[in-house]
Chain A
Amino acid sequence: MKENRSLLFGVMGEFSTPEQILSAAKQARSAGYKHVTAYTPFPVEGLAHAIGFRWTAVPLITLIGGIGGGLTGFGLQYWVAAITYPMNIGGRPLNSWPAFIPVTFELTVLGASIFAVVGMLALNKLPQPYHPIFSVERFAHASTDRFFLCIEARDPKFDLAETARFLQSVAAEHVSEVKYES
């Protein structure tokens, strides 16, 4: 029991429409399951909320990236033009700040965008080419037209038989175990 439990990731039920999985997810939460994950071929409104996922750090990270980029941009230009090697360029002042705006702006956007994407990937723990869930035969459909709800083994309320039964009770087709490969 113990060791095969350690190989167990969770139990997964399959649904055919967004509505079904949404209600299933809600019920799972209300049934007291904490570690519930839903897998869908496209974002389903309210699903994340239903499985209790509210706040994401992506916007904050992006903001930081943007501010960083902007400061670097203007700082660099000011330092180059006015401090390290001040030169008379066509009679223009050393700190020609209006001329420094375009580069500052571009670097702001660059910083923000890179942080946004990298942040999103990192928070999603990607890249992660291996995941036990891929072992489930029918999971291939998760990227086409099927919807999956997985209750993870680490959930305190988890019990293989019990949870599986629960999933069937919320009208899941093909309930299947998700296992790590030994």
Chain B
Amino acid sequence: MDAMSEHANDKELRVLQGALPNAAAHDDGHDHEHKVHAEDNTLREFTLNLAAVRAKLKGKSGKQYWRTLEELADDPHFQDLLHREFPRHASEWDDAVDRRNFLKLMGASLAFAGLAGCGRPDESHIVPYVKQPDGMVLGKPNFYATAMPFGADAVGVLVESHEGRPTKIEGNPDHPSSLGSTDALVQASILNLYDPDRAQTVLENGEIRSWSAFLDAAQGLATAMKAQNGAGFRILTGTVTSPTLAWQLRKLLALYPLAKWHQWEPASGGGAREGAKLAFGRNVNTVYVPGKANVILSLDSDFLASGPGHIAHAKQYARRRKLDGPNDTLNRLYVVEPTPTVTGSSADHRLPLRAGDIELFARALAGKLGLSSPVPLSGEAAKWLDAVATDLQKEHGASLVVAGEYQAAAVHALAHAINASLGNVGKTLYYTDPVEAEPTGDPESLRELCADMDAGKVDLLLILGGNPLYDAPHDFDFTSKLKRVPTAIHLSPYYDETSVYCHWHVSESHYLETWSDARAYDGTATIIQPLIAPLYYSRSAHDVVAAFSDKPGLPAYDAVRAYWTEESARLGAPIDVAWRKWLNDGIVHGTKFTPIAAELKFSATSLPVFKPTPADQIEFIFRPDPNVHDGRFANNGWLQELPKPVTKLTWDNALLVSPKLAQKLEVAHKIASRGGEHGQVRSTVVDIALNGSKVTAAAWTLPGQAENSVVLSLGYGRTLAGFTGSNKGFNAYVVRTSNALWVAGDGKITPTGDDYPLACTQYHFNMEGRQILSTATLAEYQKNPAFAHEGAEAPAKDNSLYKEFEYKGYAWGMAIDLNKCNGCNACVVACQAENNIPVVGKDQVMRGREMHWIRIDRYYANSESAASGKATGDPSEYNPTLDNPQTFFQPVPCQQCENAPCEQVCPVGATVHSAEGLNDMVYNRCIGTRYCSNNCPYKVRRFNFLRFQDWDTPQLKLLRNPEVSVRSRGVMEKCTYCVQRINNGRIEAEKQNRPIRDGEIVTACESACPSEAIVFGNANDPNSRVAKLKAQQRNYSILGELNSRPRTTYLAAVRNPNAELEKA
């Protein structure tokens, strides 16, 4: 591995210098030229020449570094040993203390003992530009608009770039899929750019080849293909939303008439597509406008946190959860789902139902609404049905029924029918042409390809992205079929499971490295512009497709530009003018799809008879993992260590089972004394026999899971994901077949008897009756608006012995509206990216040492243990209250207490109050007594127990935010309210001799939050948003009775349940 990256680094060097000429080639797109220029130029001692970077940063400088003693050790032995100690950011910490390693370290310690005395820094250099690009001001980040393509959607983003290094991603307010916000995946995607495990060159059978060599080979193949009119030429892609790529592919197919284009997207449900066909007889894209709906019913749809447009959905939805006073009204959300999702957890009413039974519920609802003959339901569901039906009807034209991505076509068709009958079409949702360039049905398209491969009809297979060998349904047996293809070419960012079996592998450029374009869920197109020249010898799909076209070697930029030149004519915008605007705004104006009138060709009565699965049969459902999705993010340390929204598990996936089923199967959790409630949980390992295949997984008891339904989340069990992602969790694809992509029956679960350690950051889910997360129903709130202040509350200001400090200038504060927060995790990753927060690895998380500055706590209301009847925090003790508990999320950053308990106990004054009321943490003064952490009631402080920060991998040094100190071993750290943003904002304002405007300074978490739940600002200014929120009666502080006077306060959560369902 080391040798590999060494070798790669020499290359990077060349790539970067090579970047200049081909950039200069385009005199248009000035900003683009400027960016690429930035590459091999520098900020003070900072150069992008990676070799030099390494030298510099080892050379005891680099603005964003400060060092502990041992890093001053230049003794090669010691250096080398530090490398070995931390091979990789996000590497799992290996605590094994073998004797040899130990003796080495002893030697090393002697080596650095020698220079302990010397405090004198040696010479370092300033390496200025040779020709400084126009418009660049050293030390001032630039922002560029681009988009992250993802499934059938693309999220528009603004990327912060420091002297040519993209360091942070923000949402693009002008972009429909972003509206200024992002989600965890978008935030984390920048780490993939700098991932040292990415494939770095073109490979032919594992041998390094130059791009030109590939071009020649491609031309050879192309001529051969032309000869047979493209017969045997197959192209396999994922969902394509890039107009340019589609255009290129279509041209290619025109060039090779007999060639075929297949698609396989393992984690996007075909239900919507098929459902639309069923309902309208054609491909139709449904655009939801939840903001306009007063009552929403989600049929197993996680529309707030996944699927096309979810960020926009969350924003619209949250705006309807805004509550300024008791007279405001709320919308109401019903969710029927098999497994708790972010959407379900923040619903007003949630009904756990097996995925398979959802269709029955939909039919019943249709029946209630008179679209078909009534369908009888039993138990809770029946009661529910009446309430929901009446509620929906009440809000005719202002209600919305959303069918889940992973539900069958029938459910979608029914949803369309119901929405139509409720008069919602054109109001709370509308239809457009499909966003996918070429809608094709999964898995049929892939099935067809496999059949052809099997029949030996495929001579040349071009796999553009994706990892079918890993994620294709196992009954296709893709591997053996791929072996029969004479020439297979794989384009992917990593040399992964599939690449191994392909003759050629081309490393795929990150979206921040290449020109491209993509459509958002509503059709709006964005030109994807590169922020940095490729770090490695990587190429985009455009380049590879071009290689087989009649214009081999056509740069992606030209392709994109060419396509949009054509389009601009249609859009009636002269390209030379429009282009710059498109790049600047991050959207191509006028590309948003216009709603189409899709008339319903479907009647609920026409559906075949529904055969329900027996109630006691266990149903297995497959879902993409909330963090690593279908597996493409497996090597992303930030996402691996990110606690999954509901389970709070990190680094692994698990078989999710309901508490009741857990009883039956005798699976349980053992809280190990190490980490325990906050760290390691050992849970029972089970064998899963399903679809004639077997997989072994750790079982996780999840309150709220539908009783006889278990979840296998996709994306884990990778074998060639890279250093971070390989061999984590279990691979659910192994038991997934093409005829049961999302729901499978008749499987068997048998405990193996042993248990497996899982890293869970919050096991205990009970508030123990403390005033931490206060909630009420809308009715209660209207009756008693000040409910949040009952019970414990902060003593009045004046009854303190001490004179209160006065904050005359700015008083920074934060208000978090628990009514809006849905626990989606965007803030957690945003914070990690902004503040150079390290990844510590599973073992350390299991010891309770994760470093996130903001965590999201998940509590279940009124959960009790059957045994004691007392409050329980452990799902292992079954109790009916765990079958469908009310779930609440609470983001907890540093509370920035005015009477900070941490400050008073610090012996060296490393944490003190600023004049603006910030709880400053001074890393370079901290000696690491950890007293502050002990004395912090909220436990928001994080300690560098070991050398968690990766000081060695050069790529990761490029990623760091130069505005924030990089902490090393032995110091405490915590949320600073993004003090670097505050300072820079203040400095700009002061230069203009004006006060800071409200909203001028936003913290990383605030700007990422799709729900606008986090608001930061000057609490001293009565007109600021934050002051207004704090003035509300819902506003309270955690554990106010401690009189720590937090600056971070919360607005109590108010749910809006249906009175009908409440009673009885």
Contact = CB atoms under 8 A, between A and B. Distances in A.
Interface in B899-914: 899-904, 909, 912-914
A88 interface: yes
A93 B913 contact: no
Interface stretch (B460-468, B489-497, B800-808): B800-808
A92 B802 contact: yes
A91 B805 contact: yes
Contacts of B897: 90
A112 B804 CA distance: 38
B898 A91 contact: yes
B866 interface: no
Contacts of A1: none
Contacts of B213: none
A89 B803 contact: no
A87 interface: yes
Interface in A106-149: none
Contact of A90 (B803, B900, B914, B915): B900
Interface string B970-992: 00000000000000000000000
Contacts of A91: 802, 804-805, 898-900, 913, 1045
A97 to B, nearest CB: 12
A92 to B, nearest CB: 6
Contacts of A89: 903-904, 909, 912-913
Interface in B292-327: none
Contact of B909 (A87, A92, A93): A87
Contacts of A88: 805, 912-915
Nearest to A80: B909
Nearest to B803: A93
Interface string B872-902: 0000000000000000000000000111111
Interface in B1017-1064: 1045
A90 B899 contact: yes
A95 to B, nearest CB: 11
Interface string A4-45: 000000000000000000000000000000000000000000
A102 to B, nearest CB: 13
Size band of the B side of the interface?
10 to 19
B interface, over-half SS: loop
B779 to A, nearest CB: 39
B9 to A, nearest CB: 45
A123 B901 CA distance: 50
Among A88, A89, A91, A92, max chain B CB count under 10 A is at A91
Nearest to A81: B909
A93 B899 CA distance: 11
A92 B802 CA distance: 7
Contacts of B902: 90
Interface string A91-104: 11100000000000
A92 B1045 CA distance: 13
Interface string A72-96: 0000000000000001111111000
A145 B588 CA distance: 109
Among A88, A89, A90, A92, max chain B CB count under 10 A is at A90
Nearest to B915: A88
Nearest to B802: A93
B1037 to A, nearest CB: 14
Contacts of A92: 802, 904
Interface in A38-58: none
Nearest to B919: A90
B687 to A, nearest CB: 55
Contacts of B914: 88
A7 B805 CA distance: 77
A87 B909 CA distance: 9
A48 B900 CA distance: 61
Nearest to B897: A90
Contacts of B804: 91
Interface in B823-879: none
B909 A90 contact: no
B669 to A, nearest CB: 38
A148 B898 CA distance: 72
A27 B544 CA distance: 121
Nearest to B800: A91
A90 B903 CA distance: 5
A50 B1045 CA distance: 71
A92 B912 CA distance: 11
Contacts of B904: 89-90, 92
A91 B909 CA distance: 13
A85 B525 CA distance: 57
A90 B802 contact: no
A66 B909 CA distance: 29
Interface string B914-950: 1100000000000000000000000000000000000
Contacts of A90: 897, 899-904, 913
Interface string B772-807: 000000000000000000000000000000111100
A92 B914 CA distance: 13
A91 to B, nearest CB: 4
Among A87, A88, A92, max chain B CB count under 10 A is at A88
Contacts of B805: 88, 91
A87 B803 contact: no
The 9 A-B pairs of least Cβ separation, nearest first, read A88-B913, A90-B903, A91-B899, A90-B904, A90-B900, A87-B912, A89-B903, A93-B802, A88-B805
Given A90-B903, A91-B804, A91-B900, 15 more contacts: A87-B913, A88-B912, A88-B913, A88-B914, A89-B909, A89-B912, A89-B913, A90-B900, A90-B901, A90-B902, A90-B904, A91-B805, A91-B898, A91-B913, A92-B802
Interface of A: 87-93
13 contacts: A87-B913, A88-B805, A88-B914, A88-B915, A89-B903, A89-B909, A90-B897, A90-B899, A90-B902, A90-B904, A91-B802, A91-B1045, A92-B802
